[in-house]
Amino acid sequence: MIRLQNVSKTFGSGPRAVTALKNINLEVPRGQIHGVIGLSGAGKSTLIRCVNLLERPSTGTVHVDGQELTLLSGEDLNKARHGIGMIFQHFNLLTSRTVFNNVALPLELMGVSRTEIRERVTPLLDLVGLTDKARQYPAQLSGGQKQRVAIARALASRPSVLLCDEATSALDPQTTASILELLQDINRKLNLTILLITHEMEVVKSICHRVSLISDGELVEEANVGDFFTAPRTRLGRHFLNDFLELEPPRALIDRLLDASGEHTHPVVRLGFSGDAVATPLISRLARECGVDVSILQAKVESIQERTLGLMIAELMGDADDTQRAIDYLMAHDLNVEVLGHVQRND
Amino acid sequence: MSSAMINLILEATLETIYMVAISGIIAALAGIPLGVLLYVTRPGQILAQPILQSVLSVVTNIGRSIPFIILLVAIVPFTRLLVGSSIGTMAAAVPLTIAAIPFVARLVEGALNEISPGLVEAAQSMGATPWQIITRVLLPEARGGIYTALTITVVTLISYSAMAGAVGGGGLGDLGIRYGHQRYNETIMLITVVILVVMVQGLQSLGDYLVRRSNHK
């Protein structure tokens, strides 16, 4: 369990002070995977570093597993950190140690005996699928393998919480998928609470249960991942979603798009479906009931966890009255309708 | 060449080895911790102590800016206090050591600079104490760089030791100056130079080997 209450962080002082985090409230229940997504410079890194006090919050409190970390320092803080694993974008493995000894490091720091270290490291290497690499050095491994070593190392002290700082940002898409799968796997097997920061929607979509959106040091939106992908509430949320879905009108259409409707124009709309609407044959009903033809310019169906999400860009062809009726009809069926503009009729 | 000459060369070689070995070992024992201290006391580092850091840094710079030949004479009273005499091989080892300590410290600090700050952060996230970070992360990760630093130091000490003749320290450089240069004995000059070249080559090869062996990057 992680709980951040009214956490703010300011770097420097006086007129040159920079506020990195503003009044952050965040709660991640045990066993949940929570993603924080934001653009670079939004404060993601500072936020995750405040959880294990690599950055000490200027104000506010941090609780992990019921313990108020912000009250601790020195030896007590170090002890509490044994309960919080962390992995990084650039893996941060020691080049001078073999894979085995990298995973053993946190145990050495805790003063665990040699025999026990051997007993604990071996199953961890097995868990991340690197048993045969135990005696190799990080330089001999691929990026994905290095992150696997880092995950094994982060789990060595048997933490209840894992912090992931852009853990897949330096990896290619295929490797990213396999690392995310591993994180999901350990989340289920060990009931591990995971807080991750990322700028990739793919990461949020694949493994997160809940997501927070950070902008300019503030959490501006928080939602279940299914809800966020169907109906983001903020502009930034919509920006992330559209970027991710790559559902922008084609270039040629944008050039023809007019802001205002005229006598000889058709509206171009972006439709978002979710839940029941996906299964309903709305487009053909639209044609029948409103007398409007629908020309589909782009369409996409995404499956986000257990939910299906459909997105479409379409031109509604008909008289002004009919097309307006069609838009009302779609809205009445819980579709997310956005009029992107109008195009001249071809006839 | 007479056997007296051969003896002279042998003796000078041993004196050089003796001076360089003593000053090299002590400089390493003092310079490595000083280098670590210069690094870890910087602002933002694990044992940030900005004032102490500035003081150490200034002292180190002073040590490095005094020309060796001046240092050699300037610290004569200190040398006498330490080894009981201001002349001889042992007396020459004192200023050599004093000159080499800040030299080693700066090079070690440079080697530590090469370590990614992310490694220290990772160790902190595991609950490592500053001492554990120094002994289990910083020093092992900088091992190759430290070997390089010590190799450069020892080679530099060999060249500095040529000035030890000024306080009767002897050694190959001194032999080369007194017999080779001042008495126009080209054979002696050539031999001392060849021995010095072989020494430097050997040490450099040893250093390179150690760096290679400890480098897993």
Most B-contacting residue of A92, A133, A151, A169 (CB-CB within 10 A), to test interface: A92
Provide the token pair at A141: 């491994």
Provide the token pair at A280: 């309903």
Average pLDDT over residues A5-27: 93
Q: Which residues of B touch A157 (CB under 8 A)?
A: 126-127
Nearest chain A residue to B144 by CA distance is A96
The model's pLDDT over A93-143, given as tens digits with 9 standing for 90+, comes to 999 999 999 999 999 999 999 999 999 999 999 999 999 999 999 999 999
Domain B3-113+128-214 has CATH 1.10.3720.10: yes
The model's pLDDT over B92-109, given as tens digits with 9 standing for 90+, comes to 999 999 999 999 999 999
pTM of the entire predicted model = 0.87
> Tokens 């491994």 sit at which residue?
A141
pLDDT bucket at A331, cuts 50 / 70 / 90: confident
Contact criterion met (CB below 8 Å) for B41 and B47: yes
The model's pLDDT over A297-317, given as tens digits with 9 standing for 90+, comes to 888 888 877 778 888 888 898
Domain ranges of chain B: 3-113+128-214
pLDDT bucket at B121, cuts 50 / 70 / 90: very high
The model's pLDDT over B157-174, given as tens digits with 9 standing for 90+, comes to 998 988 877 777 888 888
Nearest chain B residue to A49 by CA distance is B125
Q: What is the pLDDT of residue A75?
A: 92
Q: What is the pLDDT of residue B185?
A: 86
Q: What is the pLDDT of residue A215?
A: 95
Nearest chain A residue to B217 by CA distance is A139
The model's pLDDT over B51-75, given as tens digits with 9 standing for 90+, comes to 999 999 999 999 999 999 899 889 9
Interface contact flag, A97 B140, Cβ < 8 Å? yes
Across chain B, mean pLDDT equals 92
Nearest to A22 by CA among A9, A36, A40: A9
Domains and CATH numbers, chain A: 2-232 (3.40.50.300), 246-344 (3.30.70.260)
Q: What are phi and psi of B60, to 5 degrees?
A: -60, -45
Which residues on neighbouring strands pair with residue A24, listed in sequence order?
A7
Tell whether the model's pLDDT for residue A83 goes beyond 90: yes
Q: Which residues of B touch A97 (CB under 8 A)?
A: 140
Provide the token pair at A299: 């369409």
Tell whether the model's pLDDT for residue A294 goes beyond 60: yes
> What is the maximal distance between C-alpha atoms in chain B?
68
CB-based burial label for A67 (10 Å; 0-12, 13-18, 19+): middle
Distances in Å between the alpha carbon of A107 and those of A77, B40, B83, B152?
16, 24, 47, 36
Q: What is the pLDDT of residue B147?
A: 97
